[in-house]
Amino acid sequence: MSVHAQARLRSLNSAGEDLAMRRPRFAASGFTLIELLVVIAVISVLMALLLPAVQQARETARQATCRNNLKQMGLALMSYEGSHRRFPSSSTSRIDFGVWSSFPANYHLHSWATMLLPYLDQGPLYGQINFNVSALDAANIAPASFVLPVYRCPSYSGPRYSQSPLYARFSTAYSLRNYVAMGATTVGNLYLQPDGVFYALSSTRVSDITDGVSNTIFIAETREPGAAVWIDGGTSAVASRRYLDSNPPSYAGPENSLNFQPYYAASGNGIDAQFGPSSMHSGGINHLFGDGSVQSISPNINAVAYDALVTRAGGEPTSVQY
């Protein structure tokens, strides 16, 4: 090799060594275990902070839907009263007839919830119901299985169909409602001297509500999983006091019936009802008043004050906190 070539080779080698010395050295990238744990902890804290807010937002939306359902029923009730000059009765049969009877299909038993269907944009469903026979006749099983969104509170997480064995004798698909009419202050009055607006064979008019429609409850929520079939009038009205078998003739307990369990223990005389006016909302139970307003009432309301809001012509003062 010539001297010139050897010099050129030494020059290239020297340049390569300099380049290697100047080349940056990169450390391997990635999270350490500690950094990963910190990130997971931060995400967990954020989820814990956000989850209640998300749940509250969802419940607020469900509350709004429930209140809207009641408002729709209020408009439907007033439209019905305007057309028929009376409100629908809770049942088209006597109070002592119901699904607990030996042959319930012998009795008409159509409900206020059924009568409102044409006023709730449910004319086609109403047209499927045979009013020449009982609400519990086999001919009406198909429409009775229809789950009506307007009669369902979105916060209700119970069954869609009645769990009562009395209905199961005929069908396991009797659809429930989550709203119930207020018929009296006590179960005794509901049978013998109804003092509310809706009761069996009633024909109440607006003019009969001398306490004022803004002071009188029409409809309340209910979370009852058995005795709350929308097509059946026999269970479609309740009282403001829970049932107490040992206290005739009123059969009223000292407590109001809001979320009280059991609301009515039949003991072989009727149908068991775990709940009367009740709700799965936190805080209170939504109620439709006669003026179309919807108010949430706390289960802690004084029982006498709640009674006053249920009577149609009791003359009681009703300036109470709900």
Q: pLDDT digits over 192-228, tens only?
A: 999 999 999 999 999 999 999 999 999 999 999 999 9
Percent of the chain with pLDDT over 90: 77
- In whole numbers, what is the pLDDT of the chain averaged over residues? 90
Q: Is the pLDDT of residue 29 over 90?
A: no
Look at residue 19 in the predicted model and tell me its pLDDT: 44
Looking at residue 97, its pLDDT comes to: 95
HSE at residue 142, side-chain half, CA atoms within 13 A, is 8
Is the four-CA dihedral 197, 201, 203, 208 of positive or negative sign? negative
Q: What is the pLDDT of residue 283?
A: 85
Give yes or no for residue 189 having a pLDDT over 80: yes
What's the confidence (pLDDT) of residue 320? 63
Q: With 70 as the cut, is the pLDDT of residue 252 above it?
A: yes
Residues 6+ apart with CB under 8 A from 160: 147, 175, 176
pLDDT given for residue 26 in this prediction:
46
Q: Please give the share of the chain, as a percent, with pLDDT higher than 70.
A: 87
- DSSP letters of 175-188? BB-SEEEEEESSHH
Output the CA–CA distances (angstroms, integers) from residue 270 to 97, 112, 166, 206, 254, in the order listed.
9, 20, 10, 31, 22
Is residue 10 pLDDT above 80, yes or no? no
- DSSP-derived letter for residue 316 is -
What confidence score (pLDDT) does residue 35 get? 75
Q: Which two tokens stand for residue 131?
A: 């009013």
pLDDT of residue 4: 52
CA–CA gap between residue 165 and residue 226 (Å, rounded): 9
Of the candidates 60, 65, 135, the residue with the CA atom closest to the CA atom of residue 98: 135
Which pair of structure tokens corresponds to residue 248?
A: 């005739």
pLDDT (average), residues 99-109: 96
What is the C-alpha to C-alpha distance for residues 197 and 296, in angstroms, rounded to an integer? 19
- Among 186, 177, 158, smallest CA distance to 263 is for 186
Tokens of 210: 């001398």
Spell out the domain ranges in the chain. Answer: 51-310
